[in-house]
């Protein structure tokens, strides 16, 4: 059974719960999505459902063939499922899949920060501010020994490109699901900038 949907981040706001508590929530324009392909173990090696989301004016020839009679979708994303018997190509999926209190995992592309040093990227303390150190305030320290092993190990935390990577935030709570407006309100922050593409799926961990 399908447990996910594609959406677009609208931004963040605050809203009052029934007990008067002020909650920070992320607003997501989720669905409606169309099932564009159903994959099975026998044919594709795994069970999955491909969803289409968003409209586009242009498709290339292979895309037109793949989506023939279904529409013109800007985004196609796949969700793994345990079985595909209840799902058919052309089915519609909307936010009625979720209800308030459900826990979800939200996946998106984080904001790109460009090239960043180790202080900003990994919260290093930097070098000493005195005793003759004039240019090491935001520099990293040693990255390895000299004669042995005489190399820098892979994964060493160093300056480099920060952000613009796939991020999943797990176990966020659904505050409200409104099928009439295709709106999901999720407690807390979700990855990415406004209008960024998001994949929302049930976390599999109940309350």
CATH class of 4-111+166-202: mainly beta
Show the beta-strand stretches assigned E in the chain. Answer: 4-16, 22-30, 33-39, 48-55, 73-80, 92-93, 103-109, 114-116, 160-162, 166-178, 183-187, 197-202
Residue with tokens 């999901």: 184
Location of each CATH 2.40.30.10 domain in the chain: 4-111+166-202
Given a cut of 60, whether residue 22 has pLDDT beyond it is yes
pTM reported for the whole predicted model: 0.85
User: According to the model, what pLDDT value does residue 205 have?
Assistant: 61
CA–CA separation, 199 vs 85, rounded Å? 22
> pLDDT by residue (tens digit) across 53-94?
999 989 999 999 999 989 899 999 999 988 888 889 999 999
* Pair 163, 112: CB distance under 8 Å: yes
């Amino acid at each position: 059974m399908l447990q996910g949907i594609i959406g677009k981040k609208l931004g963040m706001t605050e809203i009052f719960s029934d007990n008067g508590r002020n909650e920070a929530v992320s607003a997501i324009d989720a669905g409606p999505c169309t099932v564009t392909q159903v994959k099975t173990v026998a044919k594709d090696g795994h069970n999955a459902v491909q969803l289409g989301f968003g409209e586009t004016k242009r498709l290339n020839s292979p895309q037109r063939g793949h989506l023939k009679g279904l529409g013109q979708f800007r985004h196609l994303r796949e969700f793994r499922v345990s079985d595909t018997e209840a799902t058919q190509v052309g089915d519609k999926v909307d936010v009625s899949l979720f209800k308030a209190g459900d826990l979800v995992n939200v996946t998106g592309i984080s904001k790109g920060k460009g090239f960043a040093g180790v202080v900003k990227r990994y919260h290093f303390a930097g070098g000493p501010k005195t005793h003759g150190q004039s240019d090491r305030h935001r520099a990293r320290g040693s990255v390895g020994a000299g004669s042995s092993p005489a190399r820098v190990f892979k994964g060493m935390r160093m300056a480099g490109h920060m952000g613009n990577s796939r991020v999943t935030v797990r176990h966020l709570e659904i505050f409200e699901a409104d099928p009439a407006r295709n709106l999901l309100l999720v407690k807390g922050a979700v990855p990415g900038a406004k209008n960024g593409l998001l994949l929302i799926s049930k976390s599999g961990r109940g309350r």
